[in-house]
Structure 1
Amino acid sequence: MSAHELEEFPFAGSSYHGPAPVYAKMRAECPVAKVPTAGGVDAWVVSRYEDVRAALADPRLSRALTCVDGAPRIGGSMTTTPEMIISLDGSEHSRLRKLVAGAFTVRRVEAMRPNVQRVCDELLDAIQEKGPVVDLVEAFCVPLPLTVIGEMLGVPSEDLRAFEKDARAFATVDDRAGGEESLAALGRLNDYIVGLIADKRANPGNDMLSDLIAARDNDDRLSERELVTFGFTLIGAGFDTTANQLANSLLALFEHHREDWDRLVAQPELIPTAVEELLRHVNLFATDTTGFPRIAAEDLEIGGVRIPAGDPVIFSLTSANRDGDVFADPDELDITREHNPHISFGHGMHYCLGKQLGRMEMALALEGLTRRFPDLRLAKPENELPWHHGEINHTLSTLPVIWG
């Protein structure tokens, strides 16, 4: 296979089972290839683990340049606004990351465990009461991370339901199916977060938003716009990705890896390694990318291929996570896999700040479900399950399950 034989990006065939099949050929024959995209421009697609990991840490590949006027638009790729932390480079990114990183230390996240466990248990209690047939997306996968994010931001309990509704509408927006409802939800969320910041500034609480308002680095602190933008970033990254990864992972265990579900029921001590393997193996992203497009700020090389300045570059983290040079039997789900340096949370300066929280939520969710509902299973055939194939995620609209 040569680069000119590749189809238009995003490639066809991606699903929650894994990345598009073409990536296996790309890794073997043209791991760094220039391809046409749905946005009408050509972009470099990087598919091999070693190249993806190195490029993610290369400061010459700019996120900020993707947000300037006239930047190439790659159809089917993730887009952000210039103010978001994921859109910043160099000293601007370092400044913002330093101010917010204290909220995501291992110690701080571990201190949240009892609260996350409480939320998880309350949702499982409600499922037990409502059952034996429940939509797991509606009853568990969505409210678990969203309630945790709401409480992290200090959203009052009486506001959580409206907050959750608007956050869900905002997080599933895409270029093709945004609609007036999502835009209205975006406006309501913006107004709510602005008001919440004002309230926390006047009446600080024991929550992340209060901490971020107070965070200082010498005379530097987060601006009002940065606080609002970070609130949206936390909703999009901390809620939507976790909810969808959990739902997709549960579907994979129920329908295609039932023996692994039964093993986790019998051996809950395997759950931490199972979480890492599910993060590696189960595809969440509709375009098989989680590294966000970048633009070469100067001429450089990736995997021995020259990338001219100004060219857009796409990283396929899901392809990298199936690289046989790094992972034994890469297309197999192995919940006992010990060597698992997956890069599902990214790498380099833009690695996911909330990765420890996401891991914790996944682990507590699996532990609770396997303990409380060991015979949990799908209530309808997999081919009848509705999906929302958005610009970013493969999202299960519902996941009906039954037990007993």
Structure 2
Amino acid sequence: MPSTQDPETFPFDGSSYRGPDPRYARWRTEEPVTRVRTAGGVDAWLVTRYEDVRAAQADPRLSRALACGPAAPRIGGTMYTTPEMIISMDSPEHSRLRKLVAGAFTQRRVERLRPRVQSVLDGLLDDIEAKGSPADLVPQLTLPFPLTVIGELLGVPPEDLRQFERWARAFATVDDRAGGEASLEGLAKLSEYIVGLIARKRSSPSDDMLSELITARDQGDRLSEPELVTFGFTLIGAGFDTTANQLANSVLALIGRHRDQWETLVARPARIPTAVDELLRHVNLFATDTSGFPRIAAEDLEIGGVRIAAGDAVLLSLASANRDGTVFEDPDRLDVGRAHNPHLSFGHGIHHCLGKHLGRMEMEIALTGLVSRLPELRLAVAEAELPWHVGEINHTLTSLPVAWGA
């Protein structure tokens, strides 16, 4: 049963990229669905146990659309998606849009990109090795790698990539302390740019994802102009910023606190695909420990035996679910050889990540390149000196100085 004490304030100070606040372990056992007081002063239900989080992700009674409407309870901060974004929709609108875009994200389609993604990574590592040790992996690898890939997927000309990066970074780095102004400005600039890019692709289509989405059809249906624009910057936020942060945080985990696991990958690079899933499970990307997006109960329901009333806000803690000891053996240990790993980092249900195949491939290619070409990679500063930006969505490393060799 939920506690009768005053709810604790969410998000919790004890969480970091290393993992969720220690209180989650107690809640998973004693109170897996608990009431919390959010930064906006609104109470919400926080779901912490794996089986409950997984079931809730697929429950159509928990609405993303209601969480984005004008009457939605404000849980605090500025990270509120618009109703036009696919991550904000419920069925049937979500199913219609997903059906139109899904073909661009199949595993077969993504595998066709592997040679070019490998080429991008090789070029960046060539530059790093040419400049020599030390290096800063954030501006030299973890940011430009996924950005270049997303830019090429959308068909952004190479000469536009630098400006594109500035706008994309501003859009993705949501920060309540700045009132969200930089993010909104980045969004406006990106939207304007994508409108022009769509116009050019209509007149001169090429072999890129945006051209494919422009021509996508399903029984006569097609994406509207606003849907194309919205999907473009949704792809930027999810495919660039999330991948950049996951890669940087994962490299830090491996060459820092879990050096033995880095050495395992150097000796056995064939384990890297398994390691990617383990890093997705173990490394806590989201600053709030949740998926970043609340849901609203569309009707009365129960989660984990707790009654949730229609209109209540619900937060699903992916970080806590991914450390559930009833599902993962020794859950707080990073184990790149972990065989059983049904983590929820890509979601479950209708909102499971469309770009998961691309994200996995980028992580695999990047880690394979690093362990094979820079096996002696190490931190160039003490971990405590690393600069972080903790916004409303991600734990973001702004610099990752590394060294190798003598």
- Give TM class, smaller chain: over 0.9
> Cα deviation per residue 1:306-331 (whole Å; 9 max; x = unaligned)?
11101010000110000000000000
Alignment root-mean-square deviation, CA: 1.3
1:77–1:287 CA contact under 8 A, matched in 2? no
CA contact (8 A) 1:77 1:392 kept: no
Corresponding residue of 2:125: 124
Map Cα deviations across residues 256-315 of structure 1 (whole Å, 9 max, x no partner). 011111111111001011111000001011000116210000011111111110101000
Moved over 3 A (4+): 178-184
Which residue does the alignment assign to 2:150?
149
Paired residues of 2:255 and 2:262 also in contact (CA < 8 A): yes
2:83 maps to 82
The answer as to 2:368 corresponding to 1:367 is: yes
Q: Verify: 1:58 aligned to 2:59, yes or no.
A: yes
Return 5+ residue gaps in structure 1 as ranges: none
Q: State how far apart, in whole Å, the 2-side matches of 1:117 and 1:3 are.
A: 55
Deviations 1:337-389 (A, max 9, x none): 00000000110000000011100001100000011101011111111111001
Looking at structure 1, the residues matched to 310 and 187 of structure 2 have their Cα atoms a distance apart, in angstroms, of 35
Q: 1:300 to 1:61 in 2, by over 3 A?
A: same
2:177 partner SS = coil
Residue 208 of structure 1 aligns with which residue?
209
Q: Secondary structure at the match of 1:395?
A: strand
Query: In the alignment, is the contact (CA less than 8 A) between 1:14 and 1:20 conserved in 2?
Result: yes
Give, in whole Å, the separation in 2 of the partners of 1:388 and 1:52.
27
Residue 335 of structure 1 aligns to a residue in which SS? coil
Q: What is the distance in 2 between the residues matched to 1:115 and 1:212?
A: 20
Change (3 A) 1:26 1:38: same
Counterpart residue number, 1:267? 268
Residue matched to 1:298: 299
Amino acid at match of 2:205: P
Q: In 2, distance between residues paired with 1:134 and 1:326?
A: 39
Q: Secondary structure at the match of 1:17?
A: coil
Residue aligned with 1:151, SS = helix
User: Conserved in 2, the CA contact under 8 Å of 1:10 and 1:76?
Assistant: no
Provide the C-alpha distance between the structure 1 equivalents of 2:9 and 2:81, rounded to a whole number of angstroms: 22
**1:129 shift after superposition:** 1.1
Shift of 1:230: 0.4
The equivalent residue for 1:399 is 400
Aligned counterpart, 1:165: 166
Equivalent position of 1:115 in the other structure = 116
Return closer, same or farther for 1:15/1:222 CA change in 2, 3 Å cut-off.
Answer: same
Alpha-carbon distance in structure 2 between the residues aligned to 1:110 and 1:334: 27
Residue 133 of structure 1 corresponds to 134
Q: What's 1:7 paired with?
A: 8
**CA–CA separation in structure 2 for the residues paired with 1:118 and 1:3:** 57
Q: 1:391 to 1:179 in 2, by over 3 A?
A: closer
Which residue does 2:48 correspond to in 1? 47
Change (3 A) 1:32 1:179: closer
Secondary structure in 1 aligned to 2:242?
helix
Residue deviations 1:79-126 (CA, integer Å, cap 9, x gap): 211100000001100000000000000100111111110100011001
Shift of 1:147: 0.4
Provide the C-alpha distance between the structure 1 equivalents of 2:248 and 2:101, rounded to a whole number of angstroms.
28
**Given the superposition, is the C-alpha separation of residues 5 and 391 from structure 1 closer, same or farther in structure 2, using an over 3 Å criterion?**
same
Give the TM-score taking structure 2 as reference length: 0.97
Q: Is the 8 A contact 1:76 1:391 kept in 2?
A: yes
C-alpha contact (below 8 Å) 1:3/1:33 kept by paired residues: no
Deviates more, 1:71-80 or 1:366-375: 71-80
2:165 alignment partner AA: E
Counterpart Cα distance in 2 of 1:112 and 1:287: 33
Distance 1:391 1:180, change over 3 A: closer
Show the counterpart of 1:100.
101
Q: Measure how far apart 1:75 and its partner are.
A: 2.1
Assess if the C-alpha contact under 8 Å between 1:15 and 1:286 holds in 2.
yes
In 2, the alpha carbon distance for the partners of 1:260 and 1:99 equals 40
Match of 1:326 in 2: 327
Q: Name 1:221's counterpart in structure 2.
A: 222
SS in 2 for 1:328: coil
Aligned-residue identity in percent:
72
Structure 1: how far apart are the matches of 2:327 and 2:390? Answer: 29
Count of equivalent residues: 404
Partner AA of 1:288 in structure 2:
D
Q: Which segment is superposed worse, 291-300 or 307-316?
A: 291-300
Aligned to 1:310: 311
Distance across 1 between alignment mates of 2:393 and 2:284: 11
1:77 Cα deviation from its structure 2 partner: 8.3
- Are the counterparts in 1 of residues 246 and 280 from structure 2 also a CA contact under 8 Å? yes
Cα deviation 1:195-223 (Å, max 9, x = unaligned) = 00000011111000000000011121101
Give the letter for the 2:367 counterpart: L
The 2-side partners of 1:291 and 1:22 are apart by 19
What is the rounded CA distance, in whole Å, between the counterparts of 2:330 and 2:79 in structure 1? 29
Give per-residue Cα distances to partners, 1:122-171, cap 9 Å, x unaligned. Answer: 11001111121111010000111110000000001111121112111211
Q: CA deviation at 1:181?
A: 4.5
